[in-house]
């Protein structure tokens, strides 16, 4: 008789309780997370010949070497835990939504305030405020609010800042705030009218802003101001997209908020589309693609857990194409998230069946478009492989760049493209630790050594690494490859031509002049010159430019952090946490310096003794600030 394996012994000891089970491989990496009303009954089915009929089980059991159990009090708690574990470990055999735990943007206004403020949020809360949206295009929403704030100059500052202002801010000076912080500037009644007009425009009930933009665009075109006309055109399109009133209704209007989930599968490729109806009108759609062998009902259950797990603007009904195991538990969990009744319904007849068919048609069409796009992307990667002489198809590309100011605040960026598209979840930032000098070669060497060492230890190395630089940087990185005995990864560098005859900027046309790009490969003295019109070169330039942008952004952030220091840093007893709390409480470092002793004593976490120390230490700077304020507000002497 064969001795049972450790996995078989663990399965035999599984508890007959509700909870979660976690399969892991020999490296202790989580492969799959599942939930069950009876853990023992569920996990034992994995060891039976043929398992339970699900196609992914044989592949899972080939890699699993152990299983762990987490017992919960009931099935709903197990569902919540499963959702959290999937998000944390991102197991290979589960589906994982490409999400950052945020829903679509919405606009929030608290109408109970005398002077409501417009803010953008990702989550709805039952806080008495009014929410507009959600809006599927954040870029269009940002641009729309940029236009509307100049037409309806509502306040931009927080309640705390508004309550502590003694004079109008710079936003009032440039005409985007009506300065309700100054009672003499605008009355509550006039502000309320501004809010009413803003809301009507945002809801698409008032098209005066659109007509004004249209007229200004046409006038700019007539005056041959084409750049201004193009800018106005973009703003017009953004406002129209955000404020358009939907004409697609959701059948009956008995349920105002309803989502329709369509699902389409071809082999291991699955597409899920969610049609979101709000107040009886189709407002947004959300499309998700997966590679999974999970059964459709299990995949759909995991999808619903993750899609609605953030709370957000949950509907009253979700129409689904399949009956789900544990559907009542899932309904109870969603209702708890929404703080109101949420129903999962598989319709059998009527308008709801037609709506579900529409969701399925959308999913089928989205998969077709995705498949065609995937084929084009793969051909582009094959073209790049051939043009650059790569050993492997560069399905995963990473590019690294260095940014600093004369050797100070040196940082690096690492960006990742999967199948030719940015994968921002895999972007990385690096602070240079080995030196503080102006040496890009040493910085690049340090960054790649850290990246490769982590990749060798944890897995997940790319197919191609692109370096922003010439043969010097490439040589230093190749030395790291040799030291760590890294094989199976292509390495190239991308640099602009050193031809100085062509200027970087043509002052006659006021346009940037693109110089030739050169691709350097280890072992070759001469660079590879790709056709400037080549899509493969465009892909390399795109990932290089993205790495440069990401590095510059991180460097500027670090520079601001280093530059924003205050006298609070030198006060004994005021650490980083207390400093942040003080600035958050008073609104700015200058507001802390201007605070009275009584105000400091009332600040959270500040006792009377520390308040006295802060007040005395800041006495000199407080006097300077008061003097500057007095000089600004002083009236000039009348002419003699």
- Which CATH number belongs to the domain containing residue 261 in this structure? 3.30.420
Is 138 found in the same domain as 229? yes
Question: Can you give 317-356 as a three-state secondary structure string?
Answer: EEECCCCCCCHHHHHHHHHHHHCCCCEEECCCCCHHHHHH
Is 115 found in the same domain as 146? yes
Residue 164 lies in a domain: yes
- Which CATH number belongs to the domain containing residue 36 in this structure? 3.40.1440.10
Structure tokens at 388: 């650059």
Residue 533 lies in a domain: yes
Residue 317 β-bridge partners: 258, 343
Write the pLDDT tens digit of every residue in 3-19: 678 788 888 888 888 88
Boundary-marking domain end, from 191, 219, 243: 243
CA distance 552 to 556: 6
Structure tokens at 534: 């080549």
CA distance 194 to 410: 47
- Quick check: helix, strand or coil at residue 224? coil
Structural domain span for residue 314: 257-368
Is 581 found in the same domain as 551? no
Is 401 found in the same domain as 457? yes
pTM: 0.55
Nearest Cα to Cα of residue 303 among 318, 288, 319: 288
Boundary-marking domain end, from 535, 561, 587: 561
Residue 329 lies in a domain: yes
Ramachandran assignment for 50, one of left (phi > 0), alpha (psi -120 to 50 degrees), beta (any other)? left
Residue 344 lies in a domain: yes
Residue 405 β-bridge partners: 408
Is 338 found in the same domain as 289? yes
Write the pLDDT tens digit of every residue in 244-303: 543 333 444 445 688 999 999 998 899 998 888 876 766 677 888 888 888 899 899 999
Is 590 found in the same domain as 527? no
Q: How far is CA 563 from CA 353, 557, 567, 628, in A?
A: 61, 10, 12, 22
Is 182 found in the same domain as 293? no
Residue 108 β-bridge partners: 119, 131
Residue 384 lies in a domain: no
Is 556 found in the same domain as 419? yes
Contact, 462 vs 416, CB < 8 A?
A: yes
- Quick check: helix, strand or coil at residue 399? strand
Query: What pLDDT was estimated at residue 313?
Result: 66
Is 600 found in the same domain as 499? no
Is 446 found in the same domain as 531? yes
Query: What pLDDT was estimated at residue 56?
Result: 76
- Which CATH number belongs to the domain containing residue 617 in this structure? 1.10.150.20
Boundary-marking domain end, from 540, 561, 582: 561
Contact, 383 vs 536, CB < 8 A?
A: yes
pLDDT beneath 70, residues of the chain: 1-3, 50-53, 98-104, 124, 126, 134, 136-137, 206, 235, 238-239, 241-256, 279, 281-283, 310-313, 407, 436-437, 497-515, 560-567, 632-640
- Quick check: helix, strand or coil at residue 87? helix
Residue 382 lies in a domain: no
Question: What contacts 22, CB < 8 A, 6 or more positions away?
Answer: 30, 32, 33, 67, 68, 69, 70, 85, 89
| Burial per residue of 438-461, b for 16 or more beta-carbon CB atoms within 10 angstroms, e otherwise | ebbebbbbbbbbbbbeebeeeeeb
Domains held by the chain: number: 5
Is 338 found in the same domain as 324? yes
Structure tokens at 401: 């760049």
- Which CATH number belongs to the domain containing residue 404 in this structure? 3.30.420.340
Residue 225 lies in a domain: yes
Query: What pLDDT was estimated at residue 640?
Result: 39
Is 230 found in the same domain as 174? yes
DSSP 111: T
Residue 380 lies in a domain: no
């Amino acid at each position: 008789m064969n001795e049972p394996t450790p996995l078989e012994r663990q399965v035999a000891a599984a508890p007959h309780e509700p909870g979660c089970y976690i399969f892991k491989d020999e490296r202790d990496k989580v492969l799959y997370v599942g939930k069950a009303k009876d853990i023992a009954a569920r996990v034992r089915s994995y060891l039976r010949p043929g398992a339970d009929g699900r196609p992914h089980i044989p592949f899972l059991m080939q890699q699993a070497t152990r299983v762990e159990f987490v017992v919960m009090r009931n099935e709903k708690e197990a569902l919540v835990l499963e959702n959290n574990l999937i998000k944390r470990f991102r197991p290979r055999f589960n589906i994982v939504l490409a999400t950052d735990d945020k829903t679509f943007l919405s606009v929030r206004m608290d109408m109970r305030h005398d002077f409501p403020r417009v803010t953008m949020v990702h989550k709805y809360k039952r806080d008495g405020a009014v929410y507009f949206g959600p809006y599927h295009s954040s870029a269009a929403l940002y641009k729309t609010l940029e236009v509307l704030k100049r037409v309806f100059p509502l306040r931009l500052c927080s309640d705390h800042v508004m309550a502590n202002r003694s004079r109008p801010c710079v936003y009032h000076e440039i005409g985007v705030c009506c300065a309700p912080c100054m009672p003499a500037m605008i009355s509550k009644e006039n502000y309320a009218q501004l809010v009413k007009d803003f809301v009507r425009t945002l809801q698409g009930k008032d098209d005066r802003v659109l007509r004004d933009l249209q007229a200004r665009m046409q006038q700019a075109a007539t005056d041959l101001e084409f750049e201004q006309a193009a800018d106005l055109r973009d703003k017009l399109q953004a406002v129209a997209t955000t404020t358009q009133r939907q004409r697609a209704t959701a059948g009956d209007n008995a349920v105002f908020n309803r989502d329709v989930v369509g699902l389409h599968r071809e082999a291991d490729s699955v597409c899920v589309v969610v049609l979101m109806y709000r107040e009886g009108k189709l407002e947004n759609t959300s499309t998700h693609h997966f590679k999974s062998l999970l059964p459709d009902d299990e995949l759909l259950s995991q999808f619903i857990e993750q899609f609605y797990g953030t709370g957000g603007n949950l509907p009253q009904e979700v129409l689904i194409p399949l009956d789900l195991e544990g559907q009542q538990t899932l309904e109870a969990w969603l209702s708890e998230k929404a703080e109101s009744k949420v129903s999962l319904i598989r319709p059998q007849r009527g308008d709801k069946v037609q709506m579900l068919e529409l969701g399925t048609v959308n999913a089928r069409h989205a998969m077709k478009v995705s498949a065609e796009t995937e084929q084009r992307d793969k051909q582009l990667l094959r073209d790049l492989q051939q043009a650059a002489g790569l050993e492997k198809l560069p399905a995963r590309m990473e590019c690294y760049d260095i940014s600093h100011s004369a050797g100070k605040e040196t940082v690096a960026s690492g960006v990742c493209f999967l199948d030719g598209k940015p994968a921002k979840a895999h972007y990385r930032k690096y602070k240079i630790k080995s030196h503080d000098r102006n040496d890009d070669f040493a910085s690049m060497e340090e960054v790649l050594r850290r990246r490769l060492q982590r990749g060798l230890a944890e897995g997940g190395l790319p197919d191609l690494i692109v370096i922003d630089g010439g043969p010097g940087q490439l040589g230093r990185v190749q030395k790291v490859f040799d030291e760590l005995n890294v094989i199976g990864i292509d390495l190239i560098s991308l640099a602009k031509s050193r031809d100085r005859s062509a200027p970087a900027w043509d002052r006659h046309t006021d346009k940037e002049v693109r110089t030739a790009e050169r691709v350097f490969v280890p072992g070759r003295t001469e660079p590879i010159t790709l056709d400037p019109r080549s899509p493969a070169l465009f892909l390399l330039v795109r990932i290089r430019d993205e790495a440069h942008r990401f590095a510059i952004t991180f460097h500027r952030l670090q520079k601001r952090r280093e530059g924003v220091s205050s006298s609070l840093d030198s006060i004994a007893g005021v650490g980083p946490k207390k400093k942040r709390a003080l600035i958050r409480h008073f609104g700015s470092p200058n507001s802390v310096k201007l605070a009275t002793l009584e105000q400091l004593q009332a600040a959270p976490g500040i006792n009377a003794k520390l308040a006295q120390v802060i007040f005395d230490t800041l006495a000199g700077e407080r006097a300077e600030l008061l003097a500057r304020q007095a000089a600004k507000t002083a009236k000039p002497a009348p002419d003699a």
